[in-house]
């Protein structure tokens, strides 16, 4: 069997969720499990958190149905609402909560007859300029929803564009806009994403929406003492499958990007861009070989990558290689550090791990852990 496995530590997931709650004890923390739980397996993650989280959040009806069909009974928020009016029947049947961000969604809801009023999260565009009503439109729309028998409990929501920055005037403008609107409407608010949960108590409200932080990634531009305590949930782990001793002034990999400047020992690892490991990883991108840091040497191939292990002792066929996460000896390589070497962010690495990489779930509270 190919040795590449994504190990998912559900105890670490719960630890990170508790941290999100501790950051904002006066708020309720909705666990965001969109994009298949940021690549970790939405159903397995929801099952691990179902006794803790008051609600889950996903991007689409299809994602919500994976949770419902898997036995998750907690409220599920559709963060982008419906994509067509005919989805409202399923929203009603499966007791989902929905965002309303556009006039067409509002009109569809008001033309629908649900079995029970549908809880609505009215989205206001406070400065992100993707989805949402303007503040003036939100005033009128809130009034319409409050009188509509189709709408159940109402919440106001918005999304912060620069909460990851240490100092941002745009953040301050968004915050003032949303707080002013919430006060005018007397509306319970959902505003804080992961960075705001970690670093901006002034954004904490009725419901926070922690996402990537639940999976152990630090979303802050400059981390703080709280984000430093996040535990990695995914360990992407493989093994050495070949070793090559190469003379100086030889090239390794496609295009000859890496050229040896000394006698060099190269370890070939079973992982590549066909698994979701980023092809843009630069020479020097760190991996852990037997818990020791070693640099990537050469371009990532579809099924393999090459690492310079010249300075390491004890490397052999079958030696453990951690591409990110926690090694057997306890050493940690953060997915955030790897992402910087790939000129990307942790979100793309985590959600990019492809289906051919098996997930193995580790859960001290349930043995064996549930598979998605």
Position 91 scores a pLDDT of 98
Angle, in degrees to the nearest 10, between helices 42-49 and 10-23: 60
User: For residue 183, what is the enclosing H or E element?
Assistant: helix 169-185
Domain 234-362 has CATH 3.40.1160.10: no
Position 353 scores a pLDDT of 98
Nearest to 180 by CA among 156, 145, 212: 156
Alpha helices in 234-371, H assignment, sequence order:
335-341, 346-351
How far apart CA 11 and CA 13 sit, in angstroms, is: 5
| Catalytically annotated residues | 34, 254
Judging by DSSP bridges, how do beta strands 234-246 and 207-208 pair with one another? unpaired
Q: What is the CATH number of domain 10-215?
A: 3.20.20.10
Domain ranges of the chain: 10-215, 234-362
Position 367 scores a pLDDT of 55
Position 366 scores a pLDDT of 75
For the entire predicted model, the pTM comes to 0.95
CA distances from 10 to 50, 57, 128, 195 (A): 12, 18, 32, 21
Place of tokens 């995914």: 234
Judging by DSSP bridges, how do beta strands 292-295 and 286-289 pair with one another? antiparallel
Per-residue pLDDT tens listing for the chain (372 residues): 999 999 999 999 999 999 999 999 999 999 999 999 999 999 999 999 999 999 999 999 999 999 999 999 999 999 999 999 999 999 999 999 999 999 999 999 999 999 999 999 999 999 999 999 999 999 999 999 999 999 999 999 999 999 999 889 999 999 999 999 999 999 999 999 999 999 999 999 999 999 999 999 999 999 999 999 999 999 999 999 999 999 999 999 999 999 999 999 999 999 999 999 999 999 999 999 999 999 999 999 999 999 999 999 999 999 999 999 999 999 999 999 999 999 999 999 999 999 999 999 999 987 554 444
How far apart CA 183 and CA 261 sit, in angstroms, is: 65
Position 167 scores a pLDDT of 85
Find the angle CA(102)-CA(104)-CA(105) to the nearest 5 degrees.
70
User: For residue 108, what is the enclosing H or E element?
Assistant: helix 103-110
Whether 10-215 and 234-362 share one fold: the answer is no
How far apart CA 129 and CA 150 sit, in angstroms, is: 27
Strand partners for 189: 156
Q: What are phi and psi of 210, to 5 degrees?
A: -65, 135
Residue 29 in tokens: 């923390």
Residue 364 in tokens: 């001290």
């Amino acid at each position: 069997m190919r040795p590449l496995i994504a190990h998912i530590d559900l105890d670490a997931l719960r630890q990170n969720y508790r941290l999100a709650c501790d950051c904002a004890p006066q708020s309720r923390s909705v666990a965001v499990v969109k994009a298949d739980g940021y690549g970790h397996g939405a159903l397995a993650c929801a099952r691990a958190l179902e006794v803790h989280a008051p609600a889950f959040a996903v991007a689409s009806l299809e994602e919500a149905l994976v949770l419902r069909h898997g036995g998750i009974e907690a409220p599920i928020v559709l963060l982008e609402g419906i994509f067509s009016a005919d989805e409202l029947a399923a929203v009603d049947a499966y007791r989902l909560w929905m965002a309303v961000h556009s006039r067409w969604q509002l009109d569809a809801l008001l033309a629908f007859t649900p079995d029970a009023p549908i809880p609505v999260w009215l989205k206001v565009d406070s400065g992100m300029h993707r989805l949402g009503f303007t503040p003036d439109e939100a005033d009128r729309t809130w009034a319409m929803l409050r009188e509509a028998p189709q709408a159940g409990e109402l919440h106001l929501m918005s999304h912060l564009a620069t909460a990851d920055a240490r100092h941002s005037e745009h953040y301050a403008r968004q915050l003032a806009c949303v707080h002013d609107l919430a006060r005018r409407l007397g509306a319970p608010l959902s505003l804080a994403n992961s960075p705001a949960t970690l670093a901006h108590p002034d954004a904490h409200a009725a419901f926070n929406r922690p996402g990537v932080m639940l999976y152990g990634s630090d979303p802050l531009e400059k981390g703080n003492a709280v984000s430093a305590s996040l535990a990695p949930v995914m360990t992407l782990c493989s093994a050495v499958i070949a070793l090559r001793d190469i003379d100086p002034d030889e090239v390794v990999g496609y295009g000859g990007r890496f050229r040896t400047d000394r006698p060099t020992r190269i370890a070939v690892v079973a992982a590549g861009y066909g698994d979701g490991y980023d092809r843009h990883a630069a020479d020097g991108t760190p991996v852990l070989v037997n818990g020791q840091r070693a640099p990537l040497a050469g371009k990532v191939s579809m099924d393999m990558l090459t690492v310079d292990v010249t300075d390491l002792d004890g490397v052999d066929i079958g030696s453990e290689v951690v591409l990110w996460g926690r090694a057997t000896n306890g050493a940690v390589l953060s997915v955030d550090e790897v992402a910087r070497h790939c000129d990307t962010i942790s979100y793309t690495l985590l959600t990019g791990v492809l289906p051919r990489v098996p997930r193995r779930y580790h859960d001290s509270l349930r043995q064996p852990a549930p598979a998605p």
